[in-house]
Every structure is written in C-alpha cells, then in structure tokens.
C-alpha cells in the first residue's frame, strides 16, 4: 500500500462559469456565437454591461462598462436585455451536470460552485480527470457555448483563486507544496475579499504585493485587515482548512412563543419578521453569509410545520424577509402557537463569492444601519418591512447560546 504525499493532495474543486450570462445568450441563439455580446439590464446607453462575451472583452469592454462607451469601442456589439429566468434555468442544468460527476458542496453564486473532494478524488491525477469530466459533461449535456474555469486547491479559498488564474476555459492546480510561491504572481485584488477599499487599506500599511502579505504573521494580518478575517486569510493562504468555523456553526436561529393576542397568521408573521431581522443582524456580526433559510411553526395542539428554500449567498435582511413571505404562503390552517427562523448553509465572509445580482450600495447601507443601531441603540433605524414588528420580541436566553445584551 503506497502512502499518499499530503503536499500533493487537493481537497476542493471550484468551478467558475465564464461570461455566464453572455454565454447563455450565445447558447440560446446560435447566430450570436463567435460575436461580441453584452447583457444589459435594459436597452439604454445610460446603463452598464452586466456581462460581456470574450469576443466583446477583446475590445476592452468588461462588466460595468457604460453601454454608450461599449458601443463606441465596439460598434458591432450586440446588446441583449437580460432575462434572469433563463440564467437560473441554465444554472440548474449546470448544477445537475456537475452533480452527476461529484457532489456540489456549495452553490456560491449563479455561476460559481464548490465541490469537496474525498478519498481517492484528492489524488492529483484523479482530481484532474474529474475536472476534465465536468467540463465535458457541461459541454455535452448543457451546451457547447458554456465554458468554465476550474481550480483545484487544498482548501476552498485557494481553489477559487486557482479557478480565477486562467480564463476562459482554464484549469489551474494549487498544491500545498506550491505555497506560497505560486501566489506571488497575483495582485492583491486577485484575492477574494480584497476590493478597492481593502486594497487601499493594505497600501496604507505598506503592503503592495502578495509576497509581502504572505510574509506577515497572523496577528499582523489581522491588524492590517482590521478584523479577524485577516487572521482567517493568513491560515487559508497556507492551505489550511477553517475546520472549527465551518463545522461547528451550522445555522443561526431564533424562535418565539406568541402572546395570545398574536396567535393568528398576521400576528405570527409580524413576530417572524422580527426574528428574521435579529438573525440577519447576528449573521453579519458573526461574519457569515447564508445560502438557505428555514421557518418552523408550532400550532396549538402540538402539530408543527416546516418550510425551507435555498438562496444565493446573502446577508441582506430584505432578501430573507422576501423568502419567508414566499414560504409563508404555504402555511397550513391552524392557530399558531410559536414560530422560528433558521439561516442555514453558512459561509464565512472570506469564502463569499459576490454575485452579479448583488447591489453593493445596499450592502453598504445594511452595514451602516447596523453601525448606527449599535451606536445609538437598537431599532433607532429599521427597515420599513419590519416597522410593524419593532419591540415585539424581548430578549431570551437560549440553552445553546447566551445572547449579547444589546440584541433586540
């Protein structure tokens, strides 16, 4: 029996669809294949491109380019008003194709997913063969226009970095023995979690290269980041798994027994909205995104009911409230006694892959609201959707967790 060399093993496969929305349009309309295509939210020169085919990118056009500017750079560009229903339909087909090869551990966004490798799959040759099989399966069962880049790595974070290193239709491996040198060729902005503001912060700390960043201690990186996320990234860049955070925290939940006057559908929803708001605040405070939500209801007479749905990874309170309102439509008849909410599929911020659907301005607004409530007192500001629920749920002590004193 041969002993496997840990320095050669990979534990994660990360798949990133290339120019996904534009590729879907090319797949649906063969006349668009090989042509520069841009997907836009509406047909107007004042808006921007939300996806660009690689034929269009050759002209210097990228996601976020103003449509008027894109038209100037590439007069022959074909602009398509996006239809998200089509993209979700193709997303589901791609997940099914990947699942036929290897289980999908996490759907990170509409065009990205991560797969945990186990047993013989961790051997480099087996993992490489699996990547080839996944690419072929997508091409043969979903569409020849749909290409993806695949990364292999010792943890999910590095597998994602590997997947970003060669596009389109790329394949890159980062083994433990390749670290940290293989990262030195990258820019700071190539690291998931490093945007323009974080890059500026790191520059102020005299950190300009990955080589410099990798040479720092975990404590120094935490101080540079201004949060524990810096220490987490220190471990991730060394190929380590964040086992404790990934395995011990499975969900964030709150529940509440209704007062007699609210034991009806309308009153129960008011309480459920407040519980959802509380759980979303905790989610953000603890540094997670959620990819699923579950509600449970207990009726007088001990009967109970549960409903759940998956989400694109989010921290957005309003997205969660929209989800529970949709699930609530299936609530059976009966007098409600207690309600609860659980946010599931938790993903640490360091692993979060932003979606094209994300509104960065709204994300910033949510965090600003949290900061103001923390400074001036709970419910100083709240969402219109939870206005009717303010003050309804008093602080409770749970068996599994002692809540912070400032929680609403």
Active site residues: 112
Q: At how many degrees (to 10) do helices 265-285 and 360-376 cross?
A: 90
Query: Of all helices (H) and strands (E), which one includes residue 308?
Result: strand 304-314
Query: What strands, in cross-sheet order, belong to the sheet with 37-40?
Result: 51-52, 37-40, 78-81
Of the CA atoms within 13 Å of residue 304, those in its CB half-sphere come to 10
3-class SS at 313? strand
In the block, residue with structure tokens 């040759």: 125
Written as six digits, the tokens of 2 are 């041969």
- Inter-residue contact 80 to 25 (CB < 8 Å): yes
Distance CA 182, CA 375 (A): 43
In the block, residue with structure tokens 């047993």: 119
3-state secondary structure 35-52: CCEEEECCCCCCCECCEE
3-class SS at 232? helix
Facing residues of 37 across strands? 78
Determine how many CB atoms are found less than 10 A away from the CB of residue 117: 22
Written as six digits, the tokens of 349 are 């911020």
Distance CA 21, CA 39 (A): 7
In the block, residue with structure tokens 């120094």: 220
Written as six digits, the tokens of 269 are 């929803």
Question: How long a stretch of residues is the chain?
Answer: 408
């Amino acid at each position: 029996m041969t002993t496997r060399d840990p320095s050669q093993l990979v534990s994660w496969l990360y798949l990133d669809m290339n120019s996904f929305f534009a590729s879907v349009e090319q797949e649906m309309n063969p006349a668009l294949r090989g042509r520069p295509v841009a997907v836009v939210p509406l047909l107007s020169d004042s808006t921007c491109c939300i996806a660009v085919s690689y034929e269009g990118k050759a002209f210097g056009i990228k996601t976020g380019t103003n449509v008027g500017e894109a038209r100037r750079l590439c007069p022959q560009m074909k602009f398509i008003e996006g239809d998200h229903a089509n993209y979700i339909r193709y997303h589901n087909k791609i997940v099914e194709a990947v699942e036929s090869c290897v289980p999908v551990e996490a759907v990170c966004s509409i065009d990205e997913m991560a797969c945990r490798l186990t047993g013989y799959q961790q051997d480099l040759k087996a993992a490489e063969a699996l990547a080839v099989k996944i690419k072929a399966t997508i091409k043969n069962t979903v569409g020849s226009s749909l290409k993806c880049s695949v990364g292999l790595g010792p943890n999910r974070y590095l597998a994602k970095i590997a997947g970003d290193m060669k596009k389109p239709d790329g394949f890159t491996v980062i083994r433990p023995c390749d670290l940290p040198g293989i990262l030195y060729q990258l820019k700071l902005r190539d690291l998931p979690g490093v945007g323009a503001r974080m890059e500026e912060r790191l520059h102020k700390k005299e950190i300009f290269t990955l080589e410099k960043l990798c040479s720092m201690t975990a404590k120094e990186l935490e101080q540079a980041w201004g949060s524990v996320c810096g220490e987490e990234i220190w471990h991730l860049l060394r190929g380590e798994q964040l086992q404790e955070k990934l395995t011990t925290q499975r969900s964030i939940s709150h529940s509440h027994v209704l007062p007699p006057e609210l034991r009806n559908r309308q009153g129960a929803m008011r309480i459920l909205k407040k519980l959802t708001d509380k759980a979303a605040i905790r989610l953000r405070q603890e540094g997670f995104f959620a990819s699923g939500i579950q509600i449970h209801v207990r009726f007088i007479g001990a009967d109970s009911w549960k409903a759940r749905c998956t989400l694109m990874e989010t921290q957005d309170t309003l997205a969660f409230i929209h989800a529970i309102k949709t699930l609530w439509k299936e609530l059976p008849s009966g007098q409600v006694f207690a309600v609860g909410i659980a946010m599931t599929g938790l993903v640490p911020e360091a692993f979060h892959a932003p979606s094209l659907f994300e509104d960065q301005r709204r994300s910033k607004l949510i965090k600003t609201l949290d900061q103001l409530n923390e400074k001036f007192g709970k419910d100083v500001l709240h969402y219109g959707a939870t206005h009717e629920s303010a003050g309804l749920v008093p602080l409770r002590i749970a068996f599994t967790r002692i809540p912070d004193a400032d929680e609403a």
